[in-house]
């Protein structure tokens, strides 16, 4: 059995077997940690997979002297907190929407707004994590495509594609 130090050295050298060993050693632990934080098993799976993908994509920037276990837990905590913050912002927007509807509309309009909100929320939860994250940053945090691209280390074109696909998904859920 390889030590974490040997595994991280292998990953830095693009050794796929070392990466598989890291995944087998820590994936379940990291996923369970995330699940305890966010209370959503499907999203915990997505976040955990995304963390391991980031490790592989950023393997050439890894520090072989740093504890990989600590790095994984820090990434898991940060990704989980970001997810919870985005949920909080979505909920705040929902409350704003309802207050506005209640102040200005009839019961039928309110019921339509409630149904629309459910469809949007359901559709957001069904989106792939990256698409949902880009859309939330764009529409709920009011970030520009350039800001999102810089934050998520994506091209502006990729961000535009995610927003376009998210809007398509939302249109389908509304119809």
Q: What is the CATH number of the domain that holds 71?
A: 1.10.1740.10
Q: Is pLDDT at 73 greater than 90 in this prediction?
A: yes
Query: Of 76, 21, 18, whose CA–CA distance to 46 is shortest?
Result: 76
pLDDT over 80 (residue 22): yes
17, two tokens = 């077997």
Domain boundary among 37, 64, 80: 80
Residues 47/80, Cβ–Cβ less than 8 Å: yes
Distance (Å, rounded) from C-alpha 167 to C-alpha 172?
9
User: What does the pLDDT read at residue 14?
Assistant: 92
Answer whether residue 33 shows pLDDT above 70: yes
Instruction: Please report, for the domain that includes residue 163, its CATH number.
Output: 1.10.10.10
pLDDT in tens, 97-143: 666 655 555 566 666 666 777 777 788 888 898 998 898 888 877 88
- Count of domains observed in the chain: 2
**Residue at 151 is within a domain:** yes
* pLDDT at position 101: 56
Mean pLDDT, residues 86-96 taken together:
70
* Residue 14 and residue 66 in one domain: yes
Task: Give the pLDDT of residue 51.
Answer: 94
The answer to whether position 91 is within a domain reads no
Are residues 73 and 138 both part of a single domain? no
Predicted pLDDT of residue 87: 75
Residue located via tokens 């495509």: 145
CA distance 106 to 2: 66
Asked if the structure places residue 99 within a domain, the reply is no
- Which are the contacts of 151, defined by CB distance < 8 A and separation ≥ 6? 137, 143
Supply the range of the domain harboring residue 46: 4-80
Residue predicted with more confidence, 35 or 110: 35
CA max distance for the chain? 67
The dihedral sign for the CA sequence 102, 88, 140, 124: negative
Q: Is the model's pLDDT at 93 over the cut of 80?
A: no
Quickly tell me which residue has 């927003």 as its tokens. Answer: 163
**Token pair listed for 169:** 């998904």
pTM of the model: 0.54
């Amino acid at each position: 059995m390889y030590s974490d130090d040997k595994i991280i050295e292998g990953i830095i050298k693009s050794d796929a077997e070392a990466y598989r060993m890291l995944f087998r050693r820590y994936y379940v632990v990291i996923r369970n940690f995330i699940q305890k934080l966010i209370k959503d098993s499907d999203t915990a799976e997505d976040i955990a997979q995304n963390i391991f993908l980031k490790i592989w994509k950023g393997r050439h920037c890894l520090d072989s002297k740093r504890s990989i276990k600590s790095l994984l837990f820090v990434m898991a905590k940060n990704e989980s907190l970001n997810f919870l913050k985005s949920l909080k912002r979505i909920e705040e927007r929902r409350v704003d929407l309802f207050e506005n509807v209640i102040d200005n509309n009839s019961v039928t309009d309110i019921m339509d707004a409630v149904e629309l909100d459910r469809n949007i929320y359901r559709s957001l939860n069904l989106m792939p994590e990256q698409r949902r994250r880009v859309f939330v940053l764009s529409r709920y945090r009011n970030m520009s495509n350039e800001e999102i691209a810089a934050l998520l280390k994506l091209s502006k074109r990729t961000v535009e594609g995610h927003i376009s696909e998210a809007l398509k998904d939302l249109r389908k859920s509304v119809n």
